[in-house]
A and B are shown apart, each in its own frame.
Chain A
């Protein structure tokens, strides 16, 4: 079998897998498992957006839950106080998260590695504590906000788990496509140069600070969008849902799956969020096994399960013949 047939085969296998996956609600999968898959999907989108920051730009950012929280609370506040529909609030959830990212990250964007990690951990805690303290009298303190409306799309009210399944996984697919394009562009390349060698990237004329900040903002905007979906699915949000552990899970998904690779991140979301649900019967022992598995991973495959491959370029026709 030649490499091209093998590639074609792999493509169709993936397409068939995706189709079967999309048919799952019709195949009689129960509400509980659909909810699990919805949770996996939401974490997958969050991790895909974190992947731009952590996987492509190589910034150790462990505060992604903060942007997720800003998006969820923006949606909840606009919906419950001003009666805005969820989908009308969603763009503003993204914008709010993006503006918040600029405000908190602009002064710290030049920090490297572990220093950035510390500061971003601090950001999550600041957000959580601000929410608990009912900041501006808008967030409802530790009880959070209740009674968020269901989203309505073209007159269709999204209520049941299977409805959310298509909303979330449709959003995940769209995110993957757009992020794939972003990765394969001047912009995505600039982030990769920065990750490989920031000094050389700056020396080649790349405004490294601006690119790092903008990567963080793109990731934050997307996390804000996911926050809007989350708020409308849960109908009740409280500060407890946006703690440091949530940031750790997103970070883990990216590192475990293979930072910089979408398929790896997707697999990571299934493993980190989905797998523990499969072993729920084992009670607390499952976290022990999970922890041990993580340790083994980091020893034997530190680059993640599916690390990114070097990018293949296709030369314009005039050159392709000359340089195979």
Chain B
């Protein structure tokens, strides 16, 4: 079953064409790696999917909805969560409060029930606290729930971003360079974590520069260069594709 479908996406910034007619489908349960040289348009594709930017042309379908005209918060509510390339936690809030931000879109109490602290609002808060702690346990950060997010080690901050995204109860997660800045041990831990996320029936798409990591984690790769797809398929095939080797290593004269 196809969960995400991009159809001839186009996005340009001024005269620069960042994405030039990108189309591909993601099957439910896949772990898709979006790779390519720097400036190839990977992050722009992510921003189009998550609604941070609007495409100039083309459509995006997610779980039966057309999402390319929706605002980011609507897309999250449909079940598509993200992490950021440059970590964007709420640094001066506690680890727990960061994860609670993910619970927000599955809660309902509004101004009046909050202003008057109505019973259903208090019940909902308790449920959210438990939910947030579950996700912290899942990524292995439950013990530091009181700590300030900004004070965590880098690898923990990356995991906290994942916990926060998981709290939105996604069907699909896009991770922008999840292993960026991690040491070998943290990267191994991340691989295990991504595997456990997939087992929760969450489809994953990630951008990553660490090719070794991508080869081990993903079951499908999409390679883009200059805003267009140059290869698509399982890692073993991509590895041998001459066009990919050329894009990464350059051509010898």
Contact = CB atoms under 8 A, between A and B. Distances in A.
Interface stretch (A23-31, A89-97, A183-191, A284-292): A183-191
B151 to A, nearest CB: 11
Interface string A186-200: 111110110011011
Contact of A189 (B100, B110, B121, B148): B100
Given A185-B109, A189-B104, A197-B90, A205 B77 contact: yes
Nearest to B128: A186
Nearest to B100: A189
Interface stretch (B57-65, B68-76, B216-224, B225-233): B68-76
Binding site of A, secondary structure by majority: helix, strand, loop or mixed? helix
A208 interface: yes
A185 B165 CA distance: 20
Contacts of B126: 316
A187 B164 contact: no
Interface in A164-191: 178-179, 181-182, 185-190
A206 B98 CA distance: 13
A310 B111 contact: no
Residue among A178, A197, A202, A208 facing the most chain B CB atoms (10 A cut-off): A202
Contact of B124 (A186, A197, A202, A319): A186
Contacts of B114: 181-182, 185-188
Contacts of A208: 73
Contacts of B148: 310
Nearest to B83: A203
Binding site of B, secondary structure by majority: helix, strand, loop or mixed? helix
B126 to A, nearest CB: 5
B135 interface: no
A189 B88 contact: no
Nearest to B80: A205
Given A186-B114, A316-B129, A323 B101 contact: no
Given A313-B129, A315-B133, A196 B93 contact: yes
A168 to B, nearest CB: 20
Contacts of A193: 90, 93, 101, 104
Residue among B101, B110, B117, B130 facing the most chain A CB atoms (10 A cut-off): B101
B73 A206 contact: yes
A57 to B, nearest CB: 13
Name the interface size band of chain A: 35 or more
Nearest to B168: A205
B105 interface: yes
B104 A186 contact: yes
A221 to B, nearest CB: 10
B208 interface: no
B164 A204 contact: yes
A203 B94 contact: no
A310 B92 contact: yes
Interface string A202-214: 1111111000001
B96 to A, nearest CB: 6
Contacts of B84: 200, 203
Interface string B132-166: 01000000001101001000000000000000110
B130 A205 contact: no
29 contacts: A181-B115, A185-B114, A185-B121, A186-B114, A187-B109, A187-B111, A187-B114, A188-B114, A189-B104, A190-B101, A193-B101, A193-B104, A196-B92, A197-B88, A199-B52, A200-B89, A200-B90, A200-B101, A202-B72, A203-B52, A203-B84, A205-B77, A205-B104, A205-B168, A206-B73, A214-B111, A313-B129, A318-B130, A323-B145
* A-B CB proximity, top 9 nearest: A205-B105, A205-B76, A185-B114, A200-B88, A187-B114, A196-B90, A181-B117, A204-B101, A202-B72
Interface of B: 50, 52, 71-73, 76-77, 81-82, 84, 88-94, 96-97, 100-102, 104-105, 107, 109-111, 113-117, 121, 124-126, 128-130, 133, 142-143, 145, 148, 164-165, 168
Given A182-B111, A203-B76, A205-B81, 10 more contacts: A182-B114, A186-B121, A186-B125, A187-B109, A196-B92, A203-B82, A203-B88, A205-B73, A310-B92, A319-B129
